[in-house]
Amino acid sequence: MLKSFFFLGIFWGLGELIQRIFLLPIPGSILGMAFIFISLRLNWIRLVHVKKASDFLLKYLALFFVPYGVGLMTYYTIIENDLIIVVSAVLISSVITLYGTAFLFQKFE
C-alpha cells in the first residue's frame, strides 16, 4: 500500500508544482488526477500500482466531506441571509450538470 500512496503522492505533487509554476486557475490536485489518468491510459503505470491506496481512500470518502460541512457552518449567517439565492444556484447548477453529463455520455457512447 505504501507504493500505491507513493504514486498518488507523486502525481499530486506534480500537479501542485505545475499549477504553481504556471499560475493556472485549476487546482493542483485536479491536474494530478488528470496526469494519473493519462499515465494509466498510456500504460506508463499499471492500475495495480495505485489500486490499494485508491480503494482505501474511497472506503473513507465520507470523512473527507467533514471539513466542508464545518466550513459551511462557519458561514451560516451569510447563507441564511441569502438562502433563496444559494438554494437556487445549487439547484440550477445541479440540473445543468446532470443534463450536461447525460448529453456527453450519449455523445461518447
- Are 55 and 71 in a shared domain? no
Q: Higher-confidence residue: 34 or 69? A: 34
- Are 29 and 72 in a shared domain? no
Q: 57, 61, 13, 11: which is closest to 35 by C-alpha?
A: 11
- Are 24 and 49 in a shared domain? yes
- Are 39 and 82 in a shared domain? no
- Are 55 and 77 in a shared domain? no
- Are 18 and 36 in a shared domain? yes
Which residues in 13-24 are b (16+ Cβ under 10 Å) and which e?
ebbeeebeeeee
* Tens-place pLDDT, residues 38-76: 999 999 999 999 999 999 999 998 888 888 888 888 888
- Are 54 and 19 in a shared domain? yes
Last residue in a domain, options 59, 79, 99: 59
Domain carrying residue 35 = 1-59
pTM for this predicted structure: 0.64
- Are 6 and 55 in a shared domain? yes
- Are 76 and 35 in a shared domain? no
Least confident of 13-17, 82-86, 97-101: 82-86
**Cβ pair 1, 56 in contact under 8 A:** yes
C-alpha cell recorded at residue 94:
445541479
| Type of residue found at 21 | I
Number of separate domains in the chain? 2
